[in-house]
Amino acid sequence: MDSENVLEKVNAMCKNTLMETLGIRFTEIGNEQVSATMPVNSKVHQPLGLLHGGASIALAESVGSMASLLFIDSSKFEARGIEISANHVKSKKEGWVTGIARNIHKGKTTHLWEIRIVDEAGDLISICKLTNIILPKKN
């Protein structure tokens, strides 16, 4: 697949969604991996001026869900998140974070993704696990 063309389409799909609101931009689509960045600024802060854990989870679910969507036949199936868990290990006040989704299990009916959220220095901010269910599309 032409990754630049796919990235353009994926980012265009995010128009008028939470991903656009949070400034999430997909940056890499590879074999069994998808990455996206998100700015850390007042839009994603909690009251103490730190990256909100919910914003990190939104990044993780966005990246992991898009990964499942890209790795299924989307004309026949759709992917939906059914469980997400996160551990936040470091705070972040400003800059950028990147969510990197890597496949742990890709079955016929479920996908399991590990999403590592890192900062510009590569330091781990959060680590998440997302389970998606793969459903047949309804006509």
d(Cα 93, Cα 112) in Å, to the nearest integer?
A: 30
Q: Would residue 65 be called left, alpha or beta, if left means φ above 0 and alpha means ψ between -120 and 50 degrees?
A: alpha
Contact 88, 56 (CB under 8 A): yes
114 is catalytic: no
CB burial of residue 67 (10 Å; 0-12, 13-18, 19+): buried
CA–CA separation, 59 vs 62, rounded Å?
Answer: 5
Of 61, 94, 114, 120, the active-site residue reads: 61
Active site (catalytic) residues: 61
